[in-house]
Amino acid sequence: MSFVKGLRCRECGHEYPVAPTNVCELCFGPVEVVYEYEAISRSISREKITRGPLNMSRYKELLPVDGDIIDIGTGFTPLIRAKHLGKLLRLENLYIKNDCLNPSYSFKDRVVSIAVSKAIEFGFDTLACASTGNLAGAVAAHGAQAGLQSYVFVPANLEPSKLIGASVYGPTLVAVDGDYDQVNRLCSELADRFNWAFVNVNIRPFYAEGSKTLGFEVAEQLGWRAPDYAIVPVASGSLFTKVWKGWQELHSLGLIGPVRTGMYVAQAAGSSPVVNAYEAGKQEVRPVKPNTICKSLAIGNPADGRYVLKILAESGGGAVAVSDDDIVDGMKLLAQTEGIFAETAGGVVTAALRKLAGKKVFPKDAVVVALITGAGYKTLEAVSGHLPPALQIQPTVSSFEEALQKRKAEGKSTA
Amino acid sequence: MAKRRVMFTFQPDLITEPVIYTLGRKFRIATNIRRADVKEDRGWAVLELDGKPEDIERGLEWVRSKGVRVDPISGDVLEG
């Protein structure tokens, strides 16, 4: 059994028993999972965690699943000391959390793993989600492994590679012919109408808890401490708030020291409602219509936006938006310095990191962690027109030497 | 009869207009505000609508036509 006490409204504090619901019946505020921390403190220790399996189950006491976690190999991804990028940005202790290496190539495997495990406990036989890519793949993959039906709703104009990346797992793929708002509206109504486990709607409180494992792993991999600074991509804001919650939980259980992490939001300028609110000094997020190449962060009305703003104020962090050109440059920079090919959200984080480092926001020796949440093969089109073409040669040494000389001369002339 | 939970976000020029009152009267919908925050430059309200499904649809279209943004109460459902 888990150590879950129940659900609590984040607005009015009203408490509810565990159930597949995401809103408070009184004020319609979002509910979240609360735990019996005293009981957890008697069960958990650094030693026990360290002896645990190299997946999300090692933090099971702090997750809301009663039985086994549906696992397709998610978690315990590498935390890499980014020496080359760090040198370029004058940061001696820069780390990259490489969550591209999850089974469906994004951090969404973490949240979906918990959501699907919980959906089975609730007795659902069908999973569903509305997605522009990563979530679709993660839901379909976990549905396949768990033997559940999956319905995946995507905008009809989604890139073909992303459709294949989800449909290969065998879900019912539904392409909705409508704009961003219409797809949102339809899926919200479907979630009300069908008795399915909509992973990020009625299962959302449990789903979101899966993101904490990213924070747990970073703390453990840093030698049981929270970083001095974290740069986190923000879409709905759930990842941002849960990584923070995870570190607070570890501290309250005596597993790490006080959390003094400066939390930084990274968004694409074409979809930056949180950055806009932060820069205007507002405590509420004003919805926007997304228009960016970074589809994985294109959420105009982020569910957790106001909670992200609260954490920014509490942690003394900040928020940065970067242009689509910066995103492409960020993807190339991360690939060409650390050998990590991230999707556009990783480009957003890397570009935001470069911007912040340029402003000397971080002391040189600070421990800075950038969360890279999805793999670049999902968004090949973002960089495909921005890379030098291959040298075209005949099968002779002289042809190669000629082409090489030409390329070198071109490099000099543009240098 | 049907119920629908929605969030309205108002532009500054609509703060002084009785949009929710008119929605209720004009389309025979019972409006029940659960949370709201209205300031001089903007405002939002989270509410439940109770009425005939077709009246709710027509009512929400009218609200949108006034320039009010209508969203699901849990924020965007579509994710990356």
The tens digit of pLDDT for each residue in A225-242 reads: 999 999 999 999 999 999
Q: What confidence tier does A189 reach under pLDDT thresholds 50, 70, 90? A: confident
3-state secondary structure chain B: CEEEEEEEEECHHHCCCCHHHHHHHHHCCEEEEEEEEECCCCEEEEEEEEECHHHHHHHHHHHHHCCCEEEECCCCCCEC
Does the CB of B78 have a partner CB in chain A at under 8 Å?
yes
Structure tokens at A37: 């921390």
Ordered structural domains, chain B, with CATH: 2-72 (3.30.70.260)
Residue among B35, B69, B77 minimizing CB distance to A130: B77
Beta-carbon contacts of A302 under 8 Å, excluding residues fewer than 6 positions away, are A234, A235, A236, A237, A273, A274, A285, A308, B75, B76
Of A26, A184, A298, the CB nearest to B77: A184
Q: Does the pLDDT of residue B79 top 80, yes or no?
A: yes
For residue A57, give the 3-state DSSP assignment.
helix
* Contact at CB, A298 and B71, closer than 8 angstroms: no
Residue ranges of B 12-31 with Cβ closer than 8 A to chain A: none
pLDDT digits (tens, 9 = 90+) for A1-31: 899 999 999 999 999 999 999 999 999 999 9
For all residues of chain A together, what is the average pLDDT? 95
Q: Does residue A413 surpass a pLDDT of 80?
A: no
pTM: 0.95
Interface test with B, best of A188, A211, A240, A282 (most B CBs within 10 A): A188
Identify which of A23, A188, A287 has the shortest CB distance to residue B9: A287
C-alpha closest to that of A106 among A70, A143, A68, A132: A132
ipTM associated with this complex: 0.91
Domain range A79-105+211-384, its CATH number among 1.10.3720.10, 3.30.70.3270, 3.40.50.1100, 3.30.70.100: 3.40.50.1100
Domain with CATH 3.40.50.1100 in chain A: 4-67+108-207, 79-105+211-384
Q: Is pLDDT at A314 greater than 80 in this prediction?
A: yes
Architecture of the A4-67+108-207 domain: 3-Layer(aba) Sandwich (3.40)
A149 sits in which H/E element: strand A149-155
Q: Which residues of A291-313 are buried (b: 16+ CB within 10 A; e: fewer)?
A: ebbbbbbbbbbbbbbbbbbebbe
CB contact under 8 A, B76 and A236: yes
